[in-house]
Chain A
Amino acid sequence: MAGKTIIDKIWDKHIVESIDDSTGVFYIDRHFIHEVTSPQAFAGIKKRGIKVARPEKTVATADHNIPTQNQHLTIHDELSRLQVNTLSRNCEENGIELYGLNHPYNGIVHVIGPELGITQPGMTIVCGDSHTSTHGAFGTVAFGIGTSEVEMVLASQCLILSRPKKMRINIDGTLGKGVNSKDIVLYVISQISAGGATGYFVEFAGSAIRSLSMEARMTICNMSIEMGARGGLIAPDETTFNYIKGREMAPKGEEWEKKLTYWRSLPSDPDAVFDRELHFKAEDIEPMITYGTNPGMGVGITGKIPALDELNPSDHKSFLKSMEYMGYQPGEPLLGKKVDYIFVGSCTNGRIEDLRAFSAFIKGKKKADNITAWIVPGSKQVEAQAKKEGLIKILEDAGFEMRQPGCSACLAMNEDKIPTGKYAVSTSNRNFEGRQGPGARTMLASPITAAAIAITGEITDPRIFLEEPELVS
């Protein structure tokens, strides 16, 4: 018998009962909730006359619709305020821990889970948010769910699920200068398309992945949903254990040793078989940028938008719709194109390493006059750390301002909307039409690429700065 994948190892351990060959009752270890996708779920259980089954296994935060300025004041937007207040009331009524607005642990749900040590290898984790795949960086089976499923977890701590197919994406080799984990994931999506991993759970493996920090791994797993994958994960290793150790909710003492033994048993067996296996070379990856309206429409920054004759004729209609929205022509190069906004933040790139990378890059330089920049930390703890490390001062000296934590312009549910027709280079995860505000034109990139563009005001290869050693901090 072939060995088991890490996905199957975790999956099998969480099956309460099989319903048929493919479907079963699946146990959830940790459930994260936020203000936007939970109210209807709480209303549902209330209507049934039941309470949350395992309140201690759910953790709540307010992140999606909250303002990123003046958080000490009442939320101005009436509907946002109602959602945030509804979350507080639901948590209180059901005994759920809430890291609400202004709580020192408040932040984007996928940033706070790992930083508090809640996210641990081998767990099953769900949240009514597709970027729950972020937690996969710790070797968890983590995935986004809809509100009906949030209600199921609140009601029973379980879901009814079918086992997904398994894919392994191997990235081996050494990343070039100015290339980081955001570029890896944008590259993979550009190669396999925005639906290339639909129906699969993905394990990311290979030497380039192993060399990444936990935060860089989170960026990759975060965007596994953008290739259509139900979730993505990376086997836990010493990097993982070192990150978790000592965190607020991490296991301690004897419990730590016990957990460590289990965690070490999780990686896929050497003879494990995946339904699909892909291989990429780290050396082939350039700093990436997207030019279209789905995350698969990405290219190396020195590259060109594909010409029509490079595409399958059946794809032309959707491609041209996308080009019209972006105001671009097929076959055009991207370097030198004007940019209006920079957004650094989100559950993809709103962690301390992202702010460090951005700050190191812009240190001693000045923001271009045509750029409006929103730098939004992923959590209160990231914000505090940035302050402690002097990053805020570096940002301010270069003409940038740091806002307060939240999902912000990633999905523009709050006031942080890119105006119609404007071009935004964003470290977030989606370049869909209207994602950052109605009519907004989004280009996804890494924090370093965003930094280079913030300095020049146009699409720029960050490596040109890195070739001047005195400019590197």
Chain B
Amino acid sequence: MPVEKFEKLVSSCVPLAIDNVDTDQITPARFLKATTREGFGAKLFCDWRYDPAGKPRPEFVLNDPTYKGAILVAGKNFGSGSSREHAAWALVDYGFKVVVSSFFADIFKSNALNNGLLPVQVSEEFVSQLFETIEKNPEAKVKVDLENQTITNLETGSSEEFEIGAYKKNCMLNGYDDIDYLLSKSKEIEQFEKEKV
């Protein structure tokens, strides 16, 4: 499935200053009983967002109208735990295009990239300054430039580079998908099997 192209994004941010946000929090297991990829945004952070009766918890950031935007800024080790891609689907379906953290769990990172959600890994200092900026001005904007691999806090002007593999960067910039690439290599794969498997 081709993913949406990503070049640049300027947006305000939603702050989630919690470390080790695992994929069980992003999409609790009881919502994994699906056979399609749609509709997971409504369940995003379900148990933090709603009380057991289904009433929004006003203290949770997604229920606070002060904070809006396509960039989620989170504490360290975001997306740890289960490999469920439903977590990435939920974030994308909700409307996030970028997640910023000082580090991401590996499987989550792959899942995000495979769904056009850009994980931007920056220093802990950059993240904590960003939290401060958002606290002072919830409408503060951040610019993410994939081509140049930079993220800029437009309120303070501070900027940092982030890493992304050349292959995945190209996929994101052009909306390419791994399966198309792999299918184009079917002869090479057959040859490999003949020689080495």
Seen from chain A, the residues whose Cβ lies within 8 Å of a Cβ on chain B are 13, 16-17, 19-20, 22-23, 25, 27, 29, 36-37, 39-40, 43-44, 47-48, 50, 53, 64-65, 77, 79-80, 82-83, 86, 128-130, 132, 143-149, 151-152, 155-160, 162, 164, 193-195, 198-199, 225-226, 228, 230, 293-294, 296, 314-315, 317-318, 321, 411-413, 420, 430, 432-435, 438-439
Contacts and interface: CB of A to CB of B under 8 A. Distances in A.
A156 B189 contact: yes
Interface in B19-50: 19-20, 22, 24-25, 28-30, 32-37, 47
A420 B17 CA distance: 25
B106 A230 contact: yes
Contacts of A83: 33-35
Interface of B: 1, 17-20, 22, 24-25, 28-30, 32-37, 47, 52, 75-77, 80-86, 88, 103-107, 110-111, 114-115, 124, 128, 165-168, 178-179, 181-183, 185-186, 188-189, 192-193, 196-197
18 contacts: A16-B185, A17-B192, A19-B167, A22-B166, A36-B84, A37-B84, A47-B1, A79-B34, A82-B33, A149-B110, A149-B178, A160-B178, A194-B20, A199-B106, A226-B81, A293-B20, A294-B20, A315-B19
Contact of A27 (B22, B80, B84, B197): B197
Given A19-B167, A317-B17, A411-B29, A145 B24 contact: no
A413 B86 CA distance: 14
Contacts of A434: 24-25, 28, 47
Nearest to B37: A40
A132 B107 CA distance: 12
A22 B165 contact: yes
A318 B192 contact: no
Nearest to A36: B32
Contacts of B105: 195, 198, 228
B47 A318 contact: no
B52 A420 contact: yes
Contact of B192 (A16, A37, A149, A314): A16
A198 B182 contact: no
B80 A228 contact: yes
Nearest to B35: A39
Contacts of A420: 52
A194 B77 contact: yes
A297 B197 CA distance: 42
A438 B103 CA distance: 27
Contacts of B85: 37, 40, 128, 146-148
Contacts of B80: 194-195, 198, 228, 294
B59 to A, nearest CB: 11
Most chain B beta-carbon neighbours within 10 Å: one of A36, A77, A432: A432
Given A29-B197, A40-B37, A130-B82, A158 B111 contact: no
B110 A228 contact: no
Given A39-B35, A294-B20, A294-B80, A155 B25 contact: no
A20 B32 contact: no
A146 B83 contact: yes
Nearest to A318: B19
Contacts of A20: 165-167
A272 B179 CA distance: 34
A148 B24 contact: no
A86 B34 CA distance: 10
A294 B128 CA distance: 22
B177 to A, nearest CB: 8
Ranked nearest first, the 3 interchain pairs of A and B with the lowest CB-CB distance are A146-B85, A79-B33, A195-B77
Nearest to B87: A146
A25 B182 contact: yes
A435 B29 contact: yes
Contacts of A293: 20
Given A80-B33, A130-B82, A195-B77, A148 B114 contact: yes
Contact of A16 (B86, B168, B189): B189
A145 B83 contact: yes
Contacts of B196: 13, 27
Nearest to A64: B32
B9 to A, nearest CB: 22
Most chain B beta-carbon neighbours within 10 Å: one of A145, A155, A195: A195
Given A146-B83, A435-B24, A27 B179 contact: no
Contacts of A25: 182, 185, 188-189
Contacts of B189: 16, 25, 27, 53, 156-158
A302 B111 CA distance: 40
B62 to A, nearest CB: 16
Contacts of B34: 39-40, 79, 83
A150 to B, nearest CB: 9
A147 B82 CA distance: 12
A179 to B, nearest CB: 26
A404 B172 CA distance: 45
Nearest to A21: B166
A152 B179 contact: yes
Contact of B179 (A36, A130, A151): A151
Contacts of B75: 318
A53 B77 CA distance: 35
B185 A17 contact: yes
A44 B197 contact: no
Contacts of B33: 36, 65, 77, 79-80, 82-83, 413
B24 A44 contact: no
